[in-house]
Chains A and B, each alone.
Chain A
Amino acid sequence: MPKNTEKIGYACAYTPLALIDAAGYTPYRILPMSDCPDQAGQLLHDNLCPHVKRILDRAISKDLPDLHGAVFMNSCDAMRRLADAWKRVRPADSIILLDLPATADDAAVAYFAGELARLTESLSEWSGRNITNSDIETSIEQYNQLPPLFNRLRERLRQGVLAGGSTRMQTFYNEAMMAPFEKSARSLKQALAEPESKDPQSNGIPVFLFGNVLPDPEALTFFESCGARIIEDDLCTGSRLFTPIELGENQDLVLQISRSLLTRPPCARTFDPGQPLKMAEDILTRTRASGARGVIGQTIKFCDPYLDRLPAVRETLRQAGIPLLLLEGDCSLRSIEQQRTRIEAFIEMLD
């Protein structure tokens, strides 16, 4: 079988893409972008994260490419419910739900490695091929090529010399989330081979964007049309997905994937009990380092991991004197566009 012709769906930034790739599949992120009718609320509830509901809507409306199966992470209640509903909506799919500890201590890393080993077994069963250590190592090495390429593109973005600006950056992220590795690596390299060109939006006000799910490149265009320049992001559909897997000598590969995933810049759902609400400090540090003049927090409705931590972010930034605008959306461009006046007023205030 030629490599990577079949796809495995996934929905969370903690998914080990390299393992899926090692099994000969293309990891395909099921993004919550579609015009499918709202039906997921019937199976679950309307007051559930729109990210999850839209993904389920795509499954109900059969608005998905051929998928061999799907890998879900137990990252939050809503994701668990997505895995439950998936079984009902697409009973023929091979699916697996991996437990994901909320902490990243050694025991949690070892446990999550066990979950990843379980995934490897399932992928092996699904694909009918034995996944060797060398397969995994090759895939890790491949996927490890992406973060430095993204870093270089982000640097251009920061300097205002990436043609297409943050909108284009998002299309690169989206491609890397859905296409075979070779294809996305090629696109990134081609972009880097282009001469630096002044982004017409580069005199927008530099802003740090954090939150959960915002995959629509048009949303970034929209922020720019309001006078902002997103110079750095911390989104689960953005920079957070592409961080390297540390490869030490003679170590268990799966354990290394586990550690790298659990210790990468976290989604609000993962935290260090020794430093409660450190997420707020992290946002402050990254904002300062990026040179942003203000912060936009873009979260989606009914997302408990974020909703319950935003008060701390707000307070920390307030104390630091950094302006913050909190936007609540439903993953759609429209929900962001409706807040144009607030965004424009915020950017004007930063000017």
Chain B
Amino acid sequence: MMYQYFKDMADGIEAKILQDPDLPNPRKKYALETARLGSRLYSGNNTVAWCGLAVPFNLLNAMGITSCFVEFVGAVLAATGTADPFLEEAEQAGFVGDTCGYHRSVIGAARKKIMPEPDFLIATTCPCSGGIAIMENLADLFDKDLFVLNVPQEDSEQNVAYLADQIRDMVEFVTRHTGEPLDEDKLRQTVESTNRTRKIMKDVYQLAQNIPSPTDGRLLTNFGLVMPLFCGTEAAVEIARAYKDEFTARVDNGIPGVPGEKLRLLWIQNRIQFNNPLVELLEKEYRANIVSDELNDIFWDPIDPQDPYPGLARRAIAIPLNGSIQRRIEHLQKLARAYSLDGAINPCNWGCRQGTGARGLISEGLKEIGVPVLNLEVDCVDQRNFAEGQLRTRIEAFVEMLHSDLARHRDE
């Protein structure tokens, strides 16, 4: 059923792209690749690995493994409005509502057997304690082998060497399961392709910094989170290029992402994954544009194709959700300056101790550079308690405050 769903989706998007093949169609190309990943996961013909977020997916791509972080399932279920029964299933099994909705929905999906059975699992200690616990549960549920990558907090020689060695061990673990050793040439090509994608994505983010921005509150949703899944493939290069072409054309022709853009906002950590009217409210009624997402950034250096393991390790360590909050705040401050932000919204995903747990410190850190933060209380996956009216009121009050700040600065 799920295979057919993703296949139909991919066919439909492909047909739409073909109607206007000369247009860049960035979001369609991105959605197409996401649907293709979905159908590969469910086809039953591929070697599948369920993973943690910080796994070097490009390396797994080089080994021909269809891999994905498990939270993706939660996001897809929420986006399609089908998460509720899976959340309920998890809760009935004892996974309480105080935990992260991504993880509850994944456990529910696995228990209800709508998640494809993996050949093996690779967990990462980054970004969160809940994530690794869920991978342990999934390994038990599927009765499949689990490999763990311990991702250290800081980029030091010792830490990089430790993680690089673990990634080498991961290659052996994968080889043991597939019987296929890693082709070093293929890895080199994959890394080169990753670096190409990286460079274009960097340009994309740079273009998004224009005032007004060529992006809007939807075009780059989940982009920085999902693109690593495609890295190392030509599809990733193509998607990144499509965004670059689209944004370049918009900047050259003076076409803003949000007409009459007045406020520029940063979205902290994850988006709300289910359908909701908040972005539209911001754009239509307040001309407030989410120009930047915390995870839409290139925070890693190019990886050396001749000696890729240290670079792969550094990339995982550099994920903004890893490490100290001070480092994370510095990254947010960097984004705030680069994008000339007026304010930030933190959804404070319910149950996320990693990110929401630092809510107060993050707010203080952005306030230090004059960027006010609106802290919401949302479960980004579980829509059952979505208090739309309340959120609207809080968002309205926040953007009105930003508007009056702006007017005051103009008058000064």
Contact = CB atoms under 8 A, between A and B. Distances in A.
Given A47-B351, A84-B358, A309-B133, A97 B150 contact: no
Nearest to A40: B360
B133 A302 contact: no
Interface in A211-248: none
A133 B99 CA distance: 44
Contacts of B134: 308
B137 A312 contact: yes
Interface stretch (A107-115, A160-168, A341-349): A107-115
Contacts of B326: 84, 87
A99 interface: yes
Interface centre among B95, B132, B133, B159 (most CB of A within 10 A): B133
Given A81-B353, A311-B93, A101 B150 contact: yes
A80 B355 CA distance: 11
A97 B152 CA distance: 11
Given A44-B359, A308-B95, A273 B148 contact: yes
Interface string B328-371: 00000000000000000000101101101111110010000000
Contacts of A85: 361
B7 interface: no
Given A277-B137, A310-B94, A312-B137, A47 B325 contact: no
A99 B159 contact: yes
Interface stretch (B76-84, B139-147, B274-282): B139-147
The 4 closest A-B pairs by CB, nearest first: A311-B94, A308-B133, A84-B325, A77-B353
A117 B3 CA distance: 51
A218 B153 CA distance: 38
Interface centre among B152, B169, B361 (most CB of A within 10 A): B361
A309 B136 contact: yes
Interface centre among A88, A268, A273, A304 (most CB of B within 10 A): A304
A107 B162 contact: yes
A42 interface: yes
B350 A47 contact: yes
B212 interface: no
Interface of B: 93-96, 98-100, 103, 123, 125, 128-130, 132-134, 136-137, 139-140, 145-148, 150, 152-153, 158-159, 162, 165-166, 169, 324-326, 348, 350-351, 353-354, 356-361, 364
B146 A308 contact: no
Nearest to B125: A102
A45 B359 contact: yes
A84 to B, nearest CB: 4
Interface in A305-322: 305, 307-312, 314
Given A88-B361, A111-B152, 7 more contacts: A77-B130, A78-B357, A81-B325, A276-B139, A304-B129, A304-B130, A308-B99
A273 B146 contact: yes
Interface string A256-281: 00000000000011010110110000
A74 B137 contact: no
A86 B147 CA distance: 33
A44 B360 contact: yes
A45 B356 contact: yes
Given A44-B357, A85-B361, A276-B140, A111 B153 contact: no
B128 A77 contact: yes
Given A108-B150, A308-B137, A49 B353 contact: yes
Contact of B153 (A49, A87, A97): A97
26 contacts: A42-B360, A43-B360, A44-B361, A47-B350, A76-B353, A78-B129, A81-B358, A81-B361, A84-B325, A84-B358, A102-B148, A102-B150, A103-B150, A107-B165, A268-B133, A273-B136, A273-B146, A273-B147, A274-B146, A276-B137, A276-B146, A277-B140, A302-B98, A304-B129, A304-B130, A308-B134
B140 A304 contact: no
A198 interface: no
A301 interface: yes
Nearest to A114: B158
